[in-house]
Amino acid sequence: MIGQVEASAIQGSNELLKSVESLRLSASRRATLSHKTEMGQFLTPISVARLMASMAGCNDPKVRILDAGAGVGTLFAALVERLCQKPVPPESIFVTAYEIDPSLLESLQATLRFCGQWCKRQGIEFRGEVIISDFLKDAADRLDNGFFEKTEAPSFSCAILNPPYKKINSDSATRHHLRRIGIETSNLYTGFVTAAIQMLKYSGELIAITPRSFCNGPYFHPFRKYLLSETALRRIHVFESRSTAFKDDEVLQENIIYSAVKGVARQATVTITSNTAPDAKCESRKMKYEELIRPNDPDLFIHITPDAKSHEAALLMTRLRHSLPDLGLSVSTGRVVDFRAKEFLRMEPGAGTVPLIYPAHFDNGYVSWPKSNFRKSNAIISSDETSELLVPNENYVLTKRFTSKEERRRIVAAVYDHNRFATKLVGIENHINYFHRQHRGLSIVLARGLAMFLNSTPVDTFFRQFNGHTQVNATDLRNIKYPSLVLLEKLGSKDASESPIQAEIDSLVNRMVFDER
């Protein structure tokens, strides 16, 4: 197969990436889903690679490219193609490609040969190397400033990468390698990007496609802090559908592409682009840096507004000033972890039990319990052993911590109305966040108003600007600003039917926000 592709690479002026794409498709067909999952890597399609390469400047006469987790080499090949087509192309290009999967060695070497042939026709010197090794280990060896003599670290002009997406165990060799170079992270992709930045020279460029999940949440705070302090973001690209970037592999993770420059001062604006598919026309807008990362935000959440609708939602939400502590409210995660309390769970309510609320009990904005034909437990025993897991039977607002891809909204809230349940205590399962006042309940009017606010389109649109996955953490909910208690209760008092349609909720929330002073 590679021999057949090699022959085609010599013909024509637009065959470089077509040849590499044939290698990618062949490698993708050979690899099983379990192998892809184990490696944490899905090979980059040609359309995504070209989009990423289009973000590169790389004005050095001698360009050094780093591709960490190279796959079959689609990304560095797209960048080589891009550089060769510049009005003033570089004098030379040198590629270093890391790949841990030895089964891709032959394809990578073929891609380097294709790039060499392409550059030769353009009169550009080309050299390349493939390193079949753990990139993070090698990076640590090169960058470590420990007791041993430091190996001279390379200074790359550009790092272009689609890093593996996989969690890192706390006691793994990978975590040790990262700690040697001062990186603390729980996922391979942020480790790869951070190490790649360290291997760039001053003013070197980073172009990466990763899950959007790093834009918020406590786990990725160290990565956000490093990325924003060591580089200046220039452009962020979002896909309007979660399934478009890696549709061949049926990957539904929400991904973004971002380009940044190491060591230089940040610009006043960042370019935000979006499209329906990687090869479709991009919509573009400029976003002020202080809108992207809010001043004085200790969590450094990254808010991305790719279109006018998102921008309008952001402007609307900036009118709100109240944090949950300002309102005397808190949000916590449900205390009942079912597999840890298995001996106390019961499928149906009975003597000595109290309700156990799961996300499946959410029904049209309220909690409906018990649930018939439910594969989980409807009840939990109330005893001394479970007393710390239960809360008083009072009014709460519950939100799902995880939403499925079929649900229209990222935040799904429901009112727990204590009058519907003849019990003194209730258990809230760990897949739910619940709003409370010092671990006691809210007034029913406030609970209704808060739930309506959280279920509104403005909140959903705003929340999606910094939340790139289907998980809604308590920290995320704490970082939203809220209307005053007076306005929330005013909103809740309008819930006469107990199930207003979405358009009515959105209209009420919009008017309420504009009433905020």
CA 115 – CA 338 distance, rounded (Å): 55
Q: How far is CA 208 from the centre of its chain?
A: 13
State the pLDDT at residue 502: 67
Positions in the chain short of pLDDT 70: 1-14, 28, 31-41, 145-154, 240-253, 404-407, 466-470, 495-506, 508-517
Asked whether 272 and 212 are in contact (CB, 8 A), the reply is: no
CA 65 – CA 94 distance, rounded (Å): 6
CA 29 – CA 15 distance, rounded (Å): 21
Helices and strands (H, E) in the chain, number of each type: 18, 20
**Residue 12 burial (10 A CB sphere; 0-12, 13-18, 19+):** exposed
Tally of CB atoms within 10 A around 232: 17
The string of DSSP codes covering 19-54 is: HHHHHHHHHHHHS-HHHHHHHT--PPPHHHHHHHHT
**Residues near 507 by beta carbon (within 8 Å), at least 6 away in sequence:** none
Strands (E), 143-196: 156-161
State the pLDDT at residue 503: 66
**Residues near 29 by beta carbon (within 8 Å), at least 6 away in sequence:** none
Helical (H) or strand (E) element with 511: helix 502-515
State the pLDDT at residue 469: 62
> How many residues are present in the chain?
517
Expressed in angstroms, the distance from the first to the final Cα of the chain is: 68
pTM score of the predicted model: 0.73
Helix, strand, or coil here: 313?
helix
Q: What pLDDT, in 10s, does the model give residues 298-346?
A: 889 898 887 777 777 777 777 888 999 999 999 999 999 999 999 999 9
State the pLDDT at residue 500: 56
Q: Measuring CA to CA, which residue among 30, 6, 28 is closest to residue 19?
A: 6
State the pLDDT at residue 407: 63
133: its two tokens: 């090794």
